[in-house]
Structure formats: C-alpha cells, structure tokens
Amino acid sequence: MSSLVKEDLEKKLFKPLSQHLYEFIEIEFPAQDRYYLCVSVTKREEVKIIIVKHYRIGLDEKYEVTKKWSLNDLEMIDGKEADTDNPFFDLHFKKVYRLEAYSCASKYAFARTVNKLNHAYLKKELQIVNFDPTYINDDSIWSSNNKDCLVLMRICFYAFNLLCLSLCPLPL
C-alpha cells in the first residue's frame, strides 16, 4: 500500500515540482484527512521537508502542500524518549513543531533518511537526540537498506536469547 501511495505522491506532487521523493511517513493529525511528512530533493540538490495533506474528491486522490522547510533550516530532531517505544518527535526550526508519526518505526525511518541526506548533501552538524543511535547511524550493523526488517530481526534475536536463558537451568 505505501509503495502505491509513494508512486502517486511522486507522480502527482513531486515530479511537477521537479523533486524526487526519498521518504514519507504518515503523521497523525486531529483532522479526518491523512497527512504525510515527506523528504525530497530538488534538481538543485536542495533537501526539503514537506507536510502534505491527502484527501479525496470523488474517486480522485489529491495532495496539497501545507508546510515546507529546507533541511538547511532544521536545527534538531528530538525523539522525545530513546528508551520507550513512542511515535512522538519534535522538529526544531525557528519554531518547534510537535509531531506524532503513525508508528515508532516510521519515526526512525524519517530520522534515518534525514540523517543520510544531511550527510550526502549538506554535511552540516544536525542534532538527532533522544533516538537510539544504533538504529539511526549508517555505520551500525543494524542499519542498512533493509531498514525496519533489521530492527525486527534484532528484537527476535533478543527474544530468542531470553527464551534460551529461561529454559536452560543455570548450574549451581
């Protein structure tokens, strides 16, 4: 489903703006329409962070840009609590924007993409705080193009170890 939404967003919104959509996550809003937080790159290699409203008129899907920032203006991404599984995070521009991702995994996917594009295009000091660095940094064994599948694999590995420890009696 998300690949179809990404294709539709790319075709109807980002290609006409001469941008390439790298990542998008669904964010929670009190309104009944859907909202996406998108990261794109322009032809001039400017990285943009955009909030897009998604709604329907009849059978037609429509997308509308509601907020747009440059990655260059982003000072910090605050994941709120690194030790808990929560979807809340703040984007610090001149103003702080409090957001709620659809899931904790999507929050991490967004932070990984911003971190990767920052290193590729800007190479500026960007603070990413209150995230587990194991899942953010590309130099980590658990971070790759497989993204969240590796996070799940690591959780399964820990669960398996706990199960083995609980089943095997310790020598006295």
Tell me the pLDDT of the chain averaged across its residues. Answer: 87
Mean pLDDT of 39-44: 94
**Contact in structure between 30 and 102 (CB atoms under 8 Å):** no
pLDDT of residue 158: 77
Mean pLDDT of 132-144: 66
Which has the closest alpha carbon to 124: 136, 133, 115? Answer: 115
pLDDT of residue 170: 60
Mean pLDDT of 58-85: 92
What does the block give as tokens for 33?
């329409």
**Contact in structure between 103 and 147 (CB atoms under 8 Å):** no
* Report field, pTM of the whole predicted structure over 0.85: no
Which has the closest alpha carbon to 64: 73, 75, 76, 52? Answer: 52
Which has the closest alpha carbon to 102: 48, 39, 33, 34? Answer: 34
Which domains occur in the chain, in start order?
A: 2-143 (2.30.29.90)
Extract the runs of DSSP E, i.e. beta strands, from the chain.
19-27, 34-42, 47-57, 60-70, 76-78, 88-92, 96-100, 127-129
Give the pLDDT band (50/70/90) at residue 3: confident
